[in-house]
Amino acid sequence: MEKKNKTIHPYIPNSVPEIQAKMMEYLGIKDIEELYADIPQHLRFKGEMNLADAIPSEYELKRHVEGILSKNLSCNNHISFLGGGCWQHYVPAICDEINQRSEFLTAYAGEPYEDHGRFQVLFEYESLMAELLDMDVVNVPTYDWCQAAGTAIRMAGRITGRREILVSDTVSPERLAAIRNYCQPVMNVILVKHDPKNGVMDLEDLESKSSAETAGVYFENPSFLGFIEHQGDEISRIVHTHDAICVLGVDPVSLGVIRPPSQYGADIVCGDIQGLGVHMFFGGGLGGFIASRDEEKYVMEYPSRLFGITKTAVDGEYGFGDVAYERTSFAEREEGKEFVGTHAALWGITAAVYLSLLGPNGMKELNTTILQKSRYLMKNLSEIEGVRAPYFNSAHFKEFVVDFNGTGKTVQDINASLLSKKIFGGKSLRSEFPELGESALFCVTEIHTKKDLDTVTQAIREIVEAVNTPNFREDGEANG
Partner 1 sequence: MAEDKTNRVRKFHQAKWDEPVIFELDTKGERGIKVPEAEKEIQEQIGDGVSALPENMRRKDPPALPEISQMRVLKHFLRLSQHCLGADLNIDIGQGTCTMKYSPKINEHLVRMPEASELHPWQDESTVQGALEIIYKTDCFLREISGLDQFTFQPGGGSAAILCMASIVHKYFELKGEPGRDEIITTIFSHPSDAAAAAVKGYKIITLYQNEDGLPELEALKKALSERTAGLFITNPEDTGIFNPKIDEFTKLIHEAGGLCGYDQANANGILGITRAREADFDMCFFNLHKTFSSPHGCGGPGLGALGVKKELRDYLPVPLVEYSGKSYSVNFDLPNTIGKMRGFFGVFPAVLRAYAWIMSLGAEGLKEAARVAVLNNNYVLKKIGELRGASAPFAEGRHRIEQVRYSWQKLKEETGVTTEDVICRMADFGFHLWTSHHPFVVPEPFTIEPTESYSKEELDEYIAGLEKVVEEAYEDPEKVKNAPHNSVVHKIDQSTLDDPEKWAITWRAYLKKSKNW
Nearest residue (CB) to partner 1, 356 versus 405 = 356
Answer for the pair 266, 345: CB distance below 8 angstroms, yes or no: no
Q: Report the residue from 1, 5, 72, 470 that binds partner 1 according to the rule CB under 8 A.
A: 72
Non-local (6+) Cβ contacts of 387 within 8 A are 381, 402, 403, 404, 406, 407, 460, 464
180 part of the interface to partner 1, by CB under 8 A:
yes
Name the residue among 286, 254, 213, 244 with its Cα closest to residue 395. 254
Nearest residue (CB) to partner 1, 153 versus 472 = 153
Q: What is the CA radius of gyration of the chain?
A: 27
Non-local (6+) Cβ contacts of 260 within 8 A are 132, 133, 134, 135, 250, 269
Nearest residue (CB) to partner 1, 147 versus 210 = 147
Answer for the pair 442, 81: CB distance below 8 angstroms, yes or no: yes
Q: What 8-state DSSP symbol labels residue 142? A: B
Q: Which stretch binds partner 1 (CB under 8 A): 125-133, 155-163, 212-220, 385-393?
A: 125-133
228 part of the interface to partner 1, by CB under 8 A:
yes
Answer for the pair 221, 229: CB distance below 8 angstroms, yes or no: yes
Q: How many residues does the chain have?
A: 480
467 part of the interface to partner 1, by CB under 8 A:
no
The distance of closest approach from Cβ of residue 196 to partner 1 in the complex, given in angstroms and rounded to an integer, is 19
Q: Which stretch binds partner 1 (CB under 8 A): 132-140, 156-164, 201-209, 464-472?
A: 132-140
- d(C-alpha 153, C-alpha 393), whole Å: 29
61 part of the interface to partner 1, by CB under 8 A:
yes
Q: Report the residue from 161, 185, 434, 470 that binds partner 1 according to the rule CB under 8 A.
A: 185
5 part of the interface to partner 1, by CB under 8 A:
no
- d(C-alpha 7, C-alpha 321), whole Å: 45
321 part of the interface to partner 1, by CB under 8 A:
yes
Answer for the pair 389, 457: CB distance below 8 angstroms, yes or no: no
For residue 77, give the 3-state DSSP assignment: coil
The distance of closest approach from Cβ of residue 469 to partner 1 in the complex, given in angstroms and rounded to an integer, is 27
Nearest residue (CB) to partner 1, 284 versus 408 = 284
Q: Which stretch binds partner 1 (CB under 8 A): 162-170, 237-245, 360-368, 459-467?
A: 360-368
* Adjacency order of strands within the sheet including 268-272: 137-138, 288-292, 268-272, 245-250, 214-221, 164-168, 188-192
Binding mask 277-316 for partner 1 (x = CB under 8 A): --xxxxxx-xx------x-x--x-----xxxxxxxxxx--
362 part of the interface to partner 1, by CB under 8 A:
yes
17 part of the interface to partner 1, by CB under 8 A:
no
Q: Report the residue from 167, 239, 270, 355 that binds partner 1 according to the rule CB under 8 A.
A: 355
